[in-house]
Structure 1
Amino acid sequence: MRPKDERERERSRESPGAADAVAEGVRGVGPGEIPGRLCDVAVDLLPVSGASVSLYSDGLPVQLGASNAQAAYVTEIQATLGDGPCQSAAESGAPVLARDLTAGQDVQRWPVFAQQATAAGVRAVYSMPLGSETVCVGTLDLYREAPGDLSDQELRTARTVAGMMTVALMALPHVEEAGRPGDKRWLSGLATDHDQVYQATGMIMAQLHIGTNEALARLRAHAFAHGRTALDTARDVVTHQLRFDEDP
């Protein structure tokens, strides 16, 4: 093992480069563009094909931005299933590295997610928690089309980007969320689509006379059974194209 002072010198050399790249990536852009720009920076700095950033509210990942359609889709798969590396990282507050979704322990840990992710062309996922040592507020999710690990240096870069992303997101405007005194929703307007998931969950609760967790589970289960995302299914509920009290 290398001496501690050598590791510290390496970190001090690397972090400013990553920090400078993050700062340059968001220079001059509006608040609504920042999450997507930060994902682009992560892809530029790391050997990954895509990245997404999500915040967590009531156990549901709210996707704020993604570098491409593939990353956005695989993130939505995890939201629909309520399972996957990003969910595990959010729950543990520690990085979760799914190095090979085609075989081995990662497939055993997330069998359904692994099957759907590989079908979408993703074979490795690295999820970095956002927040502090005591509170995780979301994840930076990195996707790669080939199995493999991150080197120690790459993992440090991923941690640095996640740290800078947390700072950048926390600096954006906050607004009070209606009906929840003292609670603040981050990045008002960026997660508008996901408001439909909460609205649909409330409608399912009323239709079936069940609690929030069961209503969300029913929404996810229906989406999975019909090969759709939770967000698409929620839109059908909100627009009255789907009722759960009529669901066979």
Structure 2
Amino acid sequence: MRPGDDPRGERGREPPGAADAIAEGVRGARVGEIPGRLCGVAVDLLPVTCASVSLHSAGVPVQLGASSAQAAYVTEVQATLGDAPCHYVARTGTAVLARDLTAGRDVLRWPVFAQQATAAGVRAVYSLPLGDGAVCVGTLDLYRDRPGTLTDPELRTARLVAGLITAALTALPRAREDDEDGREWWLGGLGAGHDSVHQATGMIMAQLGLGTDEALARLRAHAFAHGRTALDLARDVVARRTRFER
């Protein structure tokens, strides 16, 4: 066992009662509450401090739920930077287990994210893909307040939670304009605030004559330079409180 690793459990043994705990955690939940509920279950089952779940749309994580304000904030940091564990997972469909954001290869790989995350009290992040192996539609991001890794059983539990989130995402479509039967859809209203990122990107494209990727990069860079999240700045752009000049 390496320094900082959590001693709970033995490799090769399944955590007892994980499936029952997950079932109990979502019992009675409205569909819109399920992402946050599963984040909370993950925190209860695993040696992590907080968790969030996001869809990835046009390179921007759209947060659907989080177990705490800390998780929500660090996920927004990832969205703002555009170069962080969740972005790598979304591109490759491969999980990232960044066990130490205070030293070593994880810091070298994501130096700016590591600095921002540790300033927010996060020392390790485990980002898992949501998808079927061929397509990654989002990520489950698990954050920890000390360096360390996940044991094999803990990683299986994390993948189980991610798999249930994926199943729910694929089973429940977006609401359509003709849905008038009062049903509550998984994505209805969730992450709606992130529409402002796409709107702001379009406005920056028009203001500066840029392509989509360049406009999004300019939004992210401006937000980072001013100590803000991309989502917060995007709302100002859409409200015309901030304008980008050539």
Instruction: Determine if the TM-score, normalized by the shorter chain, exceeds 0.5.
Output: yes
Structure 1, unaligned stretches of length 5 or more? Answer: 1-9, 178-184
Distance 1:175 1:14 in 2: 38
Distance 2:11 2:33 in 1: 29
Distance 2:242 2:16 in 1: 51
Where does residue 92 of structure 1 map in the other structure?
92
Distance 1:69 1:173 in 2: 27
Where does residue 133 of structure 2 map in the other structure?
133
Where does residue 56 of structure 1 map in the other structure?
56
Where does residue 81 of structure 1 map in the other structure?
81
Distance 1:43 1:96 in 2: 18
Contact conserved, 2:15 with 2:154, CA < 8 A, in 1?
Answer: no
Distance 1:173 1:134 in 2: 19
Where does residue 152 of structure 2 map in the other structure?
152
1:29-44 to 2 correspondences below 5 Å: 29-44=29-44
Once the 2 structures are TM-superposed, how far is the Cα of residue 189 of structure 1 from its aligned partner?
A: 0.7
Where does residue 69 of structure 2 map in the other structure?
69
Relative CO higher for 1 or 2, CA cutoff 8 Å, sep ≥ 6? 2
1:227-242 to 2 correspondences below 5 Å: 227-242=227-242
Distance 1:15 1:92 in 2: 28
Distance 2:173 2:199 in 1: 23
Contact conserved, 1:22 with 1:164, CA < 8 A, in 2?
Answer: no
Contact conserved, 2:12 with 2:152, CA < 8 A, in 1?
Answer: no
Instruction: Note closer, same or farther for the CA distance 1:80–1:52 as it changes in structure 2 (3 Å cut).
Output: same
1:190-222 CA-to-partner distances (Å, cap 9, x unmatched) read 011101111111111111111111110010000
Is residue 2:143 matched to residue 1:143?
Answer: yes
Where does residue 26 of structure 1 map in the other structure?
26
Where does residue 224 of structure 1 map in the other structure?
224
Amino acid at match of 2:199: Q
Distance 1:99 1:230 in 2: 26
Is residue 2:194 matched to residue 1:165?
Answer: no
Contact conserved, 1:99 with 1:149, CA < 8 A, in 2?
Answer: yes
Where does residue 104 of structure 2 map in the other structure?
104
Instruction: Note closer, same or farther for the CA distance 1:20–1:171 as it changes in structure 2 (3 Å cut).
Output: farther
1:38-66 CA-to-partner distances (Å, cap 9, x unmatched) read 10011011000000000011111101110
Contact conserved, 1:236 with 1:242, CA < 8 A, in 2?
Answer: yes
Once the 2 structures are TM-superposed, how far is the Cα of residue 32 of structure 1 from its aligned partner?
A: 1.7
Name whichever structure is richer in helix by fraction.
1
Structure 2, unaligned stretches of length 5 or more? Answer: 1-9, 178-184
1:114-133 CA-to-partner distances (Å, cap 9, x unmatched) read 00000000000000100111
Contact conserved, 1:31 with 1:172, CA < 8 A, in 2?
Answer: no
Shifted more, 96-105 versus 18-27: the winner is 18-27
1:6-28 CA-to-partner distances (Å, cap 9, x unmatched) read xxxx9998489333322221221
Amino acid at match of 1:131: G
Contact conserved, 1:80 with 1:230, CA < 8 A, in 2?
Answer: yes
Distance 2:214 2:152 in 1: 41
Once the 2 structures are TM-superposed, how far is the Cα of residue 231 of structure 1 from its aligned partner?
A: 0.4
Amino acid at match of 2:230: A
Where does residue 182 of structure 1 map in the other structure?
none
Where does residue 181 of structure 1 map in the other structure?
none
Structure 2 counterpart SS, 1:242: coil
Shifted more, 210-219 versus 186-195: the winner is 186-195
Structure 2 counterpart SS, 1:175: coil
Q: How many positions carry a matched residue from both structures?
A: 230
